[in-house]
Amino acid sequence: MIKKATLLTAFSVTAFSAWAQDTSPDTLVVTANRFQQPRSAVLAPVTIVTRQDIERWQSTSVNDVLRRLPGVDIAQSGGAGQNSSIFIRGTNSSHVLVLIDGVRLNLAGVSGSADLSQFPVSLVQRIEYIRGPRSAIYGSDAIGGVVNIITTRDNPGTELTAGWGSNSYQNYDISTQQQLGENTRATVIGDYKYTKGFDVVAKGGTGMQAQPDRDGFLSKTLYGALEHTFSDRWSGFVRGYGYDNRTDYDAYYSPGSPLIDTRKLYSQSWDAGLRFNGERIQSQLVSSYSHSKDYNYDPHYGRYDTSATLDEMKQYNVQWTNSVVVGHGNVGAGVDWQKQTTTPGTGYVPEGYDQRNTGVYLTGLQQLGDFTLEAAARSDDNSQFGRHGTWQTSAGWEFIEGYRFIASYGTSYKAPNLGQLYGYYGNPNLNPEKSKTVGRRI
């Protein structure tokens, strides 16, 4: 059981009504087609989680939040901070695309699947969850679904939160958002979380000496954002966050050998963007950089000992997204560019490697009376496997107010990860997995 104490400034009270409005049918959704549209107009199954939901559920991790979503299964090898995998609609964990503010999660390119056990839940302000394939809009990995974690907040004032629970659980969080003049807004968040945890692996039955200890977790997070409005139509932002996590896990002792039972993860992400919001045209250009260093080591020898392992990855992204109002709908188009760079040894890749991908997409939606039509197409040019195209289309008929029949068809693909291509047992000649999806629902 977790107990929480919260101190709010007077300005923070207004934020709760804003969060509550996100549950309405006409809440704007961006993730489905990469342009704003009411949730009621989205043909793909969509679920929205607000910060108010997270607080009400008393969720202590992102995995705790995702477990509540329809069609999601979480496999985790223990308590807080232990490795986890996400499964949507029975697909493989590598068939789930996880985005942070619309940008692909770093490190997923090494293992091929996203592990959200290390991502601080204190940064999550909103989650848009799309079930079903979305490769025609986002490219590789979006076969089972898309999870977009949004960190941007609109919560003026200062909030202090403290929580305590079993296994020496402690959580302290402070956030403040202040106006710097009429056109500039600054946000700062700090978070500290600690738990002694519990022993994950039981004793005996393995023929080896198990570790009869607790597997704890320690996380320190810092987030900052600066937003500025240049005019009625132009605005820009700069954001950055980083976290320093330590996770203990069970290993088996072999006399004379180091006991690798500690994980240390350093991660930082930075992005900057420029937005144009016209009456009929919207455009956004975002550039981002993320860097993560993931150590596994024996704390008696240290993380720089030869027995330790290091997974280090840098990711560079540039996204240009555009949408224009056409008739009773929208047409969107954009370009994605991504570069992933690893150091030697990362993900069992003996030599460092970088991979580049450029994607171009076109998507559209029209509402014609009781009918809604949606289509998307995308072409990706990857430095490893060359060019690959995907497309999808959907149609919805509202035969009774509040009830729709929806039919869809689309193609998807999953690019091989760096470990599958260049690991000790990798094959550089692998081609992307391909899938076709036919859907019908009411």
pLDDT at 177: 92
CA distance 193 to 163: 9
Q: Token digits for 57?
A: 């559920």
Sheet holding 46-50, edge to edge: 46-50, 126-131, 145-150, 96-100, 103-104
SS3 40: helix
Q: Which residues contact 258 (CB under 8 A, 6 or more apart)?
A: 297, 298, 300, 301, 305, 307
Cβ atoms of 279 and 68 closer than 8 Å: no
Q: Return the ∠ at Cα 328 (arms to 324 and 331), rounded to 5°.
A: 30
SS3 29: strand
Pairing of strands 262-277, 281-297: antiparallel
Q: In degrees rounded to 5, what are phi and psi of residue 431?
A: -105, 160
Task: Please give the domain boundaries of the chain with CATH numbers for all domains.
Answer: 2-150 (2.170.130.10), 161-441 (2.40.170.20)
Q: Which residues contact 255 (CB under 8 A, 6 or more apart)?
A: none
pLDDT at 32: 87
Cα distances from 213 to residues 200, 252, 263, 295, 441, in angstroms, run: 9, 12, 15, 20, 49
CA distance 36 to 117: 29
Q: Which residues contact 378 (CB under 8 A, 6 or more apart)?
A: 135, 136, 137, 138, 139, 359, 360, 361, 362, 389, 390, 391
pLDDT at 190: 92
Q: Token digits for 119?
A: 């991502």
For CA atoms 27, 28, 29, 33, give the dihedral sign: positive
pLDDT at 106: 67
Q: Token digits for 127?
A: 């989650």
Per-residue pLDDT of the chain in tens (442 residues, 90 and over written 9): 444 444 343 333 323 333 333 446 578 888 888 888 888 888 889 999 999 999 899 888 899 999 999 989 888 777 777 777 889 988 888 889 999 888 888 665 456 677 788 788 888 999 999 998 899 999 888 888 999 999 888 778 898 988 888 878 898 999 999 999 899 999 999 999 998 877 666 555 555 555 566 678 899 999 999 999 999 999 999 999 998 989 888 776 667 778 888 888 899 999 999 999 999 999 999 999 999 988 888 888 888 888 888 888 899 999 999 999 999 999 999 999 999 888 876 666 667 788 899 999 999 999 999 999 999 999 999 888 889 899 999 999 999 988 899 999 999 988 887 777 776 667 888 888 888 888 888 8
pLDDT at 14: 28
Q: Token digits for 271?
A: 């992005």
Q: How far apart are the first and last CA of the chain?
A: 39
CA distance 425 to 419: 8
Please give the model's pTM, rounded to 2 decimal places. 0.84
